[in-house]
Structure 1
Amino acid sequence: MARHTTQDFIRGDLRNQLRTLALVGVISLVVIAVALVATWVIYPKAKAPSGISLQLVVPALGPGIKKGSKVLLRGAEVGQVTDVQAPTAGSVNLDLVLTDDEVRGLLTDSFDVDFRPENYFGITAVNLIANKGGSPLTDGEVIRRGASPDFTMSTMLENGSLVVDGTLTKDMIASLNQVIRYANGLAPLIRSSIIVADTMAKTQRQLPTTLLRMMNDDLDVFPGFSSNAIGALYAFSRNGYNPGPDGARKADDPLLAETNRALELASSKLFGAAGALLKSHDSDLSVLTTMLKYLLDPLPRAIGGGQLATKTLVVVDGLESSFTGTPEQKTLQLRILLGQLPAVSSSLAQMGVATPSPKPAKSSARKPVRGDK
């Protein structure tokens, strides 16, 4: 079979070109094979975590646990899950790799395990709980646990849905609705209480002990006040309108009826007649009203307006202060101002009551005469 191959980018004859193409193909296959081996074998082993390898056998697996999931100890990451297998029903094998530096001296083969979220996003992780006692962990050890609690977020939501589905009935919803309405109705009361408390805090000027002491003083007289108030109500109930004719404690209807007739008579006969008289003789009474007006108009000025009572009190106080002594023996205090008169002073001097006032001395200076220098 004739072969016709011509390559413009390879120099040489046909044989050299074929040899070069075969060499390039072999080299390409080798490079691809090396890359595949490096990708699938060498790279995973190079990137695989180093540390203590353990196989954990548990009865059930938490939702979300897979290869690459984190292993936590006291909230810190100490390893990861390298493989998950379920060989038989009711048994799950977890291959773990723990960082030797993180778990040395903290974790032994007596640890417990559970599944819980590693953060608020609900990503599930394997949580290890250190216990006292036990032996140090060894590489390749198989540890079996009869219980692995599930505290994952998905399980919590599922259990919550079951609880709500079983308990949140129509009656429960109606009860919750009523509670919400009552709480909404109490909101203004709570707000008013807060405003009152805030106002009291702003207006309070004394310590609570002082305020409580003042309150105790008020409460000391409260029983007496209550007793007098009850006595006043009792006395009011014992008036002439409450007891009946037979002495029973009820309204005295005959007395009330007579009182009503008396009031009607007074309003119609007395005040009604007076009003009719004033209305029919308004022109005749104008003279009387005019006379009263002229007589009463000067009265406010005559009594000094509102100062008459004050002046009267001053005069009365002055008169009362003029009398001293006991209520049985009152003495009037008078001050005699006639002692400066010559006749009175000489008479008082002769009686030995007062000394005569000295006469003014005459001046020895001569009055000037016209012409003196």
Structure 2
Amino acid sequence: MKNQFLFIIVLLFVNFSYSQELIVKYRFEKIQYVESIDWQNDDIYCAGYTFKTEINDGNSTDAYLINYDINLKPKWTLKINDAHSNIIYSIKRHKDKIYALVTQGTVQPLTQDVKINLFIISLDGVIENKVPFGTTSLSPSNITIEGDHLIFGHTVSDGISNSSNSKSEIIQYNLSNKEIVRFKSSDYQPKPKKVIANGSDIYLFGQYIHPTNPMNIMTFRKGKYSEISLNSKETEYFLDSYINGNILTVVSVFPGVYYNSKKYLKIYYINLENDSIKSISKSYAELGWEEARFYTFSKGNSSWGIIKDTQTKTIKYALINEKGNVDKTLNFDMQNGGSYWERYIFKSDKLLNANSSGIQIYKYE
């Protein structure tokens, strides 16, 4: 009886320690798919798009950027629909401007004739400038800003066909003098997913880490362009990356394929002084995972991800540290999301999450 009582006390404590409370939510009226969110002070920004357009041909899209206050009350909405297809993929507020990467053009089932533009938007939601960067395909990476330089990565194809050969390109745009510097990959890189900057050094990571690819990471270091291969044995999914000191950490997973069901988490450590690469891997079984999703939120020395627990079959947020250990978990709210297409930010004791259902803020312990 005493042991049962202690078990109940411990269980209640664990649930309390890893619980969250839904504070406020807002259902979208215009957005069908969320691509990017940002949270600065008491302002929250959400970018997405919809196929419900005046053209209504199943391929055209209208893009939306919505500014909310801290209670998720909309302050203003910006609609971009001057092309057949308009999608805001990445946003970032910096000082007194909001920067948005927007693809615009004509999209058909087998072709994409689109260009990528940087929209510079005032804090009141007014477009002040539009900087063209040329043709593109697929979706660009996030935006990072280092000093006067706005940096991102995108895909450049030989043609407009979805099967055209493509390479990745890093773009560095000087916000002061408007100068554009480009670095193009020597070979194919999967769709750019994340770019990080460390002083004047830049690193661009693709969505996948292919074993046959001679290049997995595009870099501009010490004034020179170069490429890094991680020499993976399987096609891994890139999750996150961050730099601490002289170590570049890359987090990935192998979700299994029909001929190899041995799923694992893998973390690479690249020494930026001598370019040596070490790695560790942990099986899903060791971690207690059944599945892992592919969108994360970086904490700078750890990553929040979304996993499915093997034992309970529940979906959870998991905080993964640089050693591949899970420091904390939070239950995922399946009543307000599906866990696959999520954009989320952890900030102090708050969690901001946005998906096709809407946008919501939680308080967590």
Q: By the TM > 0.5 criterion, same fold? A: no
* Structure exhibiting the larger radius of gyration computed from Cα positions: 1
Greater per-residue helix proportion: 1
Higher relative contact order (CA 8 A, sep 6+): 2
User: Normalization by structure 2: what TM-score?
Assistant: 0.18
User: Normalization by structure 1: what TM-score?
Assistant: 0.18
